[in-house]
Amino acid sequence: MHEYFYTLADAITALLKGDEIYTCTFRGEDSDFVRFNGSAVRQAGTVAQRFFNLDLIRGQRHAGADVALSGDLEEDHARLTQALAELREQLPYLPEDPYLLYATDVQSSVHEGENALPDSASAVAAVLDAGRGRDLVGFYAAGGIYAGFANAFGQRNWFASYNFNCDWSFYYQADKAVKTAYAGFVWEPDEFAHKVATAAEQLEQLRQAPRTIPPGHYRVYLAPAALDDVLHTLTWGGFGLKDHRTKQTTLLKMVEEGARLHPGVTLRENTRDGVAPNFQGAGFIKPNQVTLIEAGTFRNCLVSPRSAQEYGVPTNGASNRETPQSLDMAAGDIPRQDVLQRLDTGVYINNVWYLNYSDRSACRMTGMTRFATFWVEHGVIQAPLNVMRFDESIYRMLGEHLLGLTSERELILNTSTYHQRSTGSSRVPGALIDDFNFTL
Amino acid sequence: MLERVEERFRHLTPQGDFCSLRFVRERSEVLAVRQNIVQPMATSEDSGAMLTVYAGDGMGYAATGHVSLSGLQRAAEQAHGWAQQSAGRSVVDFSKMRTAPPTGAYATHELVPWRQTPLSDKIDLLRTECARLKTDDRIVDWDASLWYTETDTLYLTTDGGRVYQHFVYLVPMLSATANAGSETQTRTFGGRGYCRQGGLEVLDAVGFRTAAPQLSAEALQLLTAPNCPAEVMDVLLAPDQMILQIHESVGHPLELDRILGDERNYAGTSFVTPDMFGTYRYGSDLLNITFDPTRPEQYVSYGFDDDGQPAQREYLIRQGILQRALGGLSSQIRADLPGVANSRACSWNRPPIDRMANLNLEPGNASLEEMIAAVERGVYMKTNCSWSIDDSRNKFQFGCEWGQLIEHGKLTTVVKNPNYRGISATFWRSLKMVGNQDTLEIMGTPNCGKGEPNQVIRVGHASPACLFAGVEVFGGE
């Protein structure tokens, strides 16, 4: 596939006139998608898609076009030739862009992942088998994901990854369910079976009569998947330089008033240990790590080339959205097996859901508990808990009310398939929090 | 292109018991001016086809950008393979999905065509509106933008069905952010809510050219405003908040595929159960909700859904009583319930699922002034900025950009960070007054997420302002 992309990029180079240059990106996937409900197949199919984004540049003027490709070289060459001609026509009508910045140092790379994926039919059969006698609802996505960059200077970058993401729930009844994810590059039947067995055990705990608690403040444990959702919400405007310089960051109190989180909180964009490409749309290579928050203190923003030019600082290879792709939170010192004991009496939250800010300046966010959430007394799970709404500031959750983080972390591969399968990931511990505010 | 795709489809070697093709070509342009600087122009041209095959009770699909005869043939064979694999273990009995072959067409009325208006004119318009947002040094970020999209869809079936639809969409956006110290407040032009079908005539219809100064003034006002008080009071919601309230706590709960459990692993389930239709009191007598794909200017009007079913207006809730679900043909068959033509896909590369289209709250009799006068103590909220609801679509919490107290029948103090929370199953029963036609706004959202694989799709909502009694209200810190 990468030769295909490079051939198209070379064709663009050959079509340039005068002082024109270009940057371009490629993204594509060959995916099998199978969704399940009631331990049967709801929808099954295949999606093959390729897109080519071309930015034609002359001086400080530029114009971009995103073009769907067919996969047929002759046809796609014709599409890109037409796109290039249309961009060339637009350029005179566009003003110079003072914030245009692109890589000029050629740093080429190829990451060609190994395709060791199972035949989807056998994976689907395994999932259906796991659902036998149970109410399984979920989704299996697998196949190749491709990304590329090229420019007129001869830089060529290629990334291909072949992975699967099986994300399912065992339902007991109504909204009581255990959610499990199994993702990776090689399907290990024993590992899948272990996850199925663990989920089945938790499902048994959901058969007890559910408990309802009144709104108020409780000690809680956020399992890694739940904490990951909190951190994901924090990435909406938390770390981008543009958000900081325009005072829209939800961490404004950290930079304006010196507010701090718990000294145990360290967050990094850890490209080296993630699963996303290490290059971005203007051709810059991402550093291995960018420290965002260190020991509770804000350190660095993610800086896109555009923001770098606008605010006169160096880029650190962030995408235009300036959000982490490979978020890494440092581990704490609470052994996972001690979590229930340390929680003592409170709420064990495996998953949260539908988070949003209720006060951006205070970095206060609301959301719901979801799936397997349990009421715990004296370190022993008592009963599943009916869903509760929380509304809590990050400065309390991960600040003054944070009791500790687990010493084990989980690698969570992003299950998002909006527009295309995600290559985002995070590595996150669990968090023990006091006085967590439930409101409804 | 459309003719060539149709000809190739007619020449495909038949696969399974039934095969359909849905070809989508979508062209879009985004023009933006931020801080008086023209942003990089973004255009896109997307096209591809989804082949769907039924075999026995199974169904499979394959989506491809390769729409040559060989590309379509390969996709049809892949779809057939999936249909055979799912036969005998399919949630839906697709052998029951056969209907009369659909034929017809639909087209947006574009009065002032985008493509016939020079690029320089559109940029000049955005420069003007952007500049009008910067009224004060405390306005630290401001932008104006237009998102234009033109979509052609062609739906073909092996039994002779043919539906062609042509849509033109425009999404105008304005935003002003004010800051003082660690306080930042943003006002927008209804988020992205003033989206419509049509050309540049939409701008005047929604007041795009007059909105900027007020948005900036309100952002500045919010900087020094007190937080919204925390108490139980009446809430008057403007249409640009009502559309979110309808969307989250009426639209999603009534989606039949959620009720049938398809979304339980992702978007969630519903507190609504199949036995409620026909009898359940969803809201007060004043609540009338329609599925209405027939308003020409509304964002998601169409003639046929993506399963080729003809679309028509239907009451989902009439005088507060739940009547009908938001379910397309396959969900109707599964649930044995009446539904609507709302089986929709976001593009050629995703399969259709049950979605809202235009989901509207029908206007009542009250003027805005009458509703304000009827409030002893309450708050008027405008423009959604925060939304969260549980997976059964029951416990919600929503926030708005702008709040203003209503005391003794009059608008008084401006308040920041107005939020409210409630429970869908009871909230709509507190609907106390419904605004008249003069308060109605025809709006929508380009970004409704759902489905596995995930799909983000356009949804239309029209609503008057509405007054609710006894709501739990609160502010920020």
* In chain B, residues 163-192 whose CB comes closer than 8 Å to chain A: 177, 179, 181-184, 186
| Nearest Cβ partner for B182 among A37, A257, A357 | A257
Q: Does B141 touch chain A (CB under 8 A)?
A: yes
Identify the H or E element spanning A342. Answer: helix A339-343
| Beta strand residue intervals within A152-247, DSSP E | 156-173, 176-184, 216-222
CA distance A67 to A86: 12
Same domain, A132 and A173: yes
Among chain A residues, CA nearest to B334: A42
Identify the H or E element spanning A403. Answer: strand A402-413
CATH topology of domain B2-223: PmbA/TldD fold (3.30.2290)
Same domain, A164 and A235: no
Among chain A residues, CA nearest to B63: A47
Contact at CB, A51 and B46, closer than 8 angstroms = yes
- Look at residue A266 and tell me whether its pLDDT is greater than 90: yes
pLDDT (0 to 100) of residue A179: 96
Distances (CA, A) of A114 to A71, A156, A278, A425: 21, 20, 17, 19
CA distance B274 to A362: 42
CA distance A82 to A85: 5
Q: Residue A233 falls within a domain, yes or no?
A: yes
Among chain B residues, CA nearest to A248: B184
pLDDT (0 to 100) of residue B425: 87
What residues in B contact A257, CB-CB < 8 Å? 182
For the range A314-320, what are the long-range contacts, defined as Cβ-Cβ under 8 Å and sequence gap of 24 or more?
Answer: A315/A101, A315/A284, A316/A286, A316/A287, A316/A290, A317/A271, A317/A278, A317/A279, A317/A280, A317/A284, A317/A285, A317/A286, A317/A287, A318/A240, A318/A241, A318/A269, A318/A280, A318/A286, A319/A280, A319/A281, A320/A281
The 10 Å Cβ neighbour count of residue A15 is 16
Same domain, A171 and A77: yes
| Beta strand residue intervals within B95-138, DSSP E | 103-107
Contact at CB, A38 and B261, closer than 8 angstroms = yes
The 10 Å Cβ neighbour count of residue B279 is 9
What residues in B contact A360, CB-CB < 8 Å? 184
pLDDT (0 to 100) of residue A29: 98
Q: Residue A65 falls within a domain, yes or no?
A: yes
* First vs last C-alpha separation in chain B: 57
Q: Residue A245 falls within a domain, yes or no?
A: yes
Cβ atoms of residues B151 and B24 within 8 Å: yes
A205, A232, A261 - which closes a domain: A205
Q: Could you report the per-residue pLDDT of B408-459, keeping only the tens digit for each?
A: 999 999 999 999 999 998 999 999 999 999 999 999 999 999 999 999 999 9
pTM of the model: 0.97
Share of chain B above pLDDT 70, in %: 100
Strand partners, A29: A49, A145
Contact at CB, A44 and B60, closer than 8 angstroms = yes
Burial profile A118-130: b = 16 or more Cβ within 10 angstroms, e = fewer = eebeebbebbbeb
Confidence of residue A311 (pLDDT cuts 50, 70, 90): very high
How close, in Å, is residue B370 to chain A by CA atoms?
A: 30
Phi-psi region of B86 (alpha: psi -120 to 50; beta: other; left: phi over 0): alpha
- Angle CA B13–B15–B17, to nearest 5: 135
SS3 A226: helix
> What are residue A333's phi and psi, to 5 degrees?
-130, 15
What token pair was written down for B313?
Answer: 């207006």
Same domain, A311 and A350: yes
* In chain B, residues 275-304 whose CB comes closer than 8 Å to chain A: none
Same domain, A146 and A295: no
Same domain, A62 and A185: yes
A150, A182, A205 - which closes a domain: A205
Contact at CB, A417 and B43, closer than 8 angstroms = no
Examine residue A95 and say whether the peptide bond preceding it is cis (omega within 30 degrees of 0).
no
Which sequence spans correspond to the domains of chain B?
Answer: 2-223, 231-474
Same domain, A188 and A270: no
Q: Could you report the per-residue pLDDT of B329-377, keeping only the tens digit for each?
A: 999 999 999 999 999 999 999 999 999 999 999 999 999 999 999 999 9
The 10 Å Cβ neighbour count of residue B418 is 29
pLDDT (0 to 100) of residue A349: 98
Confidence of residue A277 (pLDDT cuts 50, 70, 90): very high
Interface-testing mutation among B36, B127, B388, with chain A (most A C-beta atoms within 10 A): B388
Cβ atoms of residues A344 and A337 within 8 Å: no
CA nearest to A25, candidates A149, A145, A112, A125: A149
Sequential DSSP letters for B139-206? EEEEEEEEEEEEEEEEEEETTS-EEEEEEEEEEEEEEEEEEETTEEEEEESTTTT--EESSTHHHHHH
Average pLDDT over residues A282-310: 98
**What is the tally of structural domains in chain A?**
2
Distances (CA, A) of A24 to A5, A29, A64, A84, A144: 10, 17, 9, 11, 20
pLDDT (0 to 100) of residue A398: 98
CA distance A78 to B43: 17
Q: What's the whole-number average pLDDT of chain B?
A: 97
SS3 A318: coil
Contact at CB, B38 and A95, closer than 8 angstroms = yes
Compute the half-sphere exposure of residue B339: CA atoms within 13 Å on the CB side of its CA: 28
Q: Residue A210 falls within a domain, yes or no?
A: no
How close, in Å, is residue B450 to chain A by CA atoms?
A: 9
How close, in Å, is residue B392 to chain A by CA atoms?
A: 7
pLDDT (0 to 100) of residue B150: 98
- Look at residue A297 and tell me whether its pLDDT is greater than 90: yes
The 10 Å Cβ neighbour count of residue B369 is 12
Contact at CB, A356 and B387, closer than 8 angstroms = yes
Positions of chain B with pLDDT under 50: none
Among chain A residues, CA nearest to B86: A41
What token pair was written down for A232?
Answer: 């994901």
Cβ atoms of residues A351 and A372 within 8 Å: yes
Cβ atoms of residues A361 and B182 within 8 Å: yes
Same domain, A201 and A223: no
CA distance B144 to A375: 49
Contact at CB, B186 and A63, closer than 8 angstroms = no
How close, in Å, is residue A43 to chain B by CA atoms?
A: 7
Confidence of residue A415 (pLDDT cuts 50, 70, 90): very high
Among chain B residues, CA nearest to A64: B42
CA distance B442 to A152: 47
Q: Could you tell me the maximum CA-CA distance found in chain A, to the nearest angstrom?
A: 76
Q: How far is CA A158 from the centre of its chain?
A: 20
Q: What is the dihedral of CA B270, B273, B274, B277, to 10 degrees?
A: -100
Q: Does B273 touch chain A (CB under 8 A)?
A: no
- Angle CA A16–A20–A22, to nearest 5: 80
How close, in Å, is residue B322 to chain A by CA atoms?
A: 21
Range of the domain at A382: 216-438
Contact at CB, B68 and A389, closer than 8 angstroms = no
Contact at CB, A45 and B61, closer than 8 angstroms = yes
Same domain, A79 and A165: yes
ipTM: 0.96
Contact at CB, B264 and A50, closer than 8 angstroms = no
| Nearest Cβ partner for A356 among B118, B179, B386 | B386
Q: How far is CA A119 from the centre of its chain?
A: 26
Any idea which residue has 């203003």 for tokens? B404
Please report, for the domain that includes residue A129, its CATH number.
Answer: 3.30.2290.10
pLDDT (0 to 100) of residue B191: 96
Q: Does B333 touch chain A (CB under 8 A)?
A: no
CA nearest to B278, candidates B339, B321, B319, B334: B321
How close, in Å, is residue B47 to chain A by CA atoms?
A: 6
What token pair was written down for A362?
Answer: 């205070």
| Nearest Cβ partner for A248 among B65, B184, B390 | B184
Size of interface A-B (CB pairs under 8 A): 251
Cβ atoms of residues B327 and B337 within 8 Å: yes
Same domain, A187 and A224: no
Identify the H or E element spanning A15. Answer: helix A2-15
- Angle CA B391–B397–B400, to nearest 5: 135
How close, in Å, is residue B131 to chain A by CA atoms?
A: 16
Q: Residue A416 falls within a domain, yes or no?
A: yes
Q: Does B93 touch chain A (CB under 8 A)?
A: no
Same domain, A166 and A261: no
Same domain, A237 and A149: no
Q: Residue A136 falls within a domain, yes or no?
A: yes
Contact at CB, A48 and B65, closer than 8 angstroms = yes
Total residue length of chain A: 440
